[in-house]
């Protein structure tokens, strides 16, 4: 049922919110008291990125021993130097634990293991968000997050692994996009063919792509090309 306040009631413990403004009117104040914050995001251009500074300032003002912040980001973000620097800054400023996943993740926030926010699809220019307090559902989302967390790689470790491919990524993506054959592409980059193919494979892995075509699609989604 859609109500006049912009919400869709899906039960006493699940509320579907339409639009970021309404979402933050309802839950923004909770960032000032949260002690256990877990987040997952495919990119940095999210409602959290746009609005987090004020709300998280109160979280970071407390001693780090009094709070825990964990974040999972998609691996493709580490291919962009600006995004990589921003993620490192988030880790350092917030004292957050940051891990990187090659798998798709749904934008999720878990607050004090009691409330979950799940981002939905865009509808008529507005994104829907499910605000969930139903204990069994919250626990299910927490279990999924913990599984993703265990399988993800620490930011420092992953960043070191992709340092070289991050430098080569723009040129490799350009060559792939123009359909340049491996031998010619390798010569253009001053690499051996086997090394070039290994770099392409590493790039595909970082983008979570199973083919070179899909790698190009993912790169465009992330603004790498």
The domains found in the chain, sorted by start residue, are 7-151 (3.30.870.10), 157-221 (1.10.10.10)
How far apart (Å, rounded) are the C-alpha atoms in residues 5 and 14? Answer: 15
Sheet with strand 153-154: strands edge to edge: 7-9, 14-18, 126-132, 115-123, 108-111, 36-41, 68-74, 97-101, 153-154
Say how far apart CA 79 and CA 83 lie, in whole Å. 8
The tens-digit pLDDT sequence of the chain (225 residues) is 343 334 344 455 888 888 888 888 888 888 888 999 999 988 776 544 445 444 555 454 455 567 899 999 988 888 888 889 999 998 998 899 999 998 878 889 999 999 999 988 777 677 888 999 999 999 999 999 999 999 999 999 999 888 888 888 889 989 988 899 999 999 999 999 999 999 899 888 888 888 888 888 888 877 777
Which tokens go with 157?
Answer: 């470790």
């Amino acid at each position: 049922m859609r109500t006049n306040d912009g919400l869709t009631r899906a039960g006493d413990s699940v509320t579907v919110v339409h639009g970021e403004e309404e979402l933050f009117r309802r839950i923004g104040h909770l960032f000032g008291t949260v002690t256990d914050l877990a987040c997952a995001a495919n990119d940095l251009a999210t409602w959290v990125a746009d609005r987090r500074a004020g709300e998280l300032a109160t979280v970071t003002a407390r001693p780090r021993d009094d709070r825990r912040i964990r974040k999972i980001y998609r691996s493709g973000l580490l291919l962009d130097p600006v995004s990589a620097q921003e993620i490192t800054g988030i880790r350092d400023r917030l004292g957050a634990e940051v891990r990187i996943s090659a798998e798709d993740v749904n934008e999720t926030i878990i607050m004090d293991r009691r409330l979950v926010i799940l981002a939905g699809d865009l509808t008529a220019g507005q994104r829907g968000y499910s605000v969930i307090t139903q204990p069994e559902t919250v626990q299910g989302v927490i279990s999924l997050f913990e599984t993703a967390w265990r399988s993800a790689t620490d930011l420092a470790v992953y960043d070191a692994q992709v340092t070289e491919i991050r430098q080569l990524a723009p040129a490799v993506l350009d060559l792939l996009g123009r359909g340049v054959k491996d031998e010619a592409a390798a010569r253009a980059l001053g690499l051996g063919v086997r090394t070039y193919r290994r770099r392409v494979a590493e790039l595909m892995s970082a983008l979570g792509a199973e083919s070179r075509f899909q790698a190009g699609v993912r790169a465009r989604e992330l603004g790498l090309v």
